[in-house]
Amino acid sequence: MSEELQLSTEGLNRSFGRHAVIRGLDLRVPTGTVYGFLGRNGAGKTTTIRMIMGILSPDRGTLTLGGKTVRRTSPRLRASIGYVSQQQHFYPWMRV
């Protein structure tokens, strides 16, 4: 039996210059679950979340949200993503 996935990534990669931050991330988040990212500074947690939210684009790999493969996250899809940061960040496209 396969579970319905709300979020999945396959082979997600992101670099900044020559510095590879995310290499080959495979992630599966079933519908109805809550996930958090834990790790040391510089592990790529924020970069991963920013790719999921559409703030950053992956260099390679596939990102699927709500069963749809996305390259750019639409405003409508962004509105369905919950995100709580340790620090305050304001993005002009986000609305309260």
CB-based contact 85:25 (threshold 8 Å): no
Domain edges within the chain: 5-78
3 state SS of 43: coil
d(CA 84, CA 49) in angstroms, rounded, equals: 10
Helices (H) and strands (E) in the chain, counts: 2, 4
**pLDDT tens track, the chain, 96 positions:** 457 888 999 999 999 999 999 999 999 999 988 888 899 998 999 899 889 888 889 999 999 988 888 876 667 776 777 777 766 666 666 666
d(CA 6, CA 65) in angstroms, rounded, equals: 6
CATH number for domain 5-78, candidates 3.30.1330.80, 3.40.190.10, 3.40.50.300, 3.30.470.30 = 3.40.50.300
3 state SS of 75: helix
**For residue 61, how far is the Cα from the chain centroid?**
12
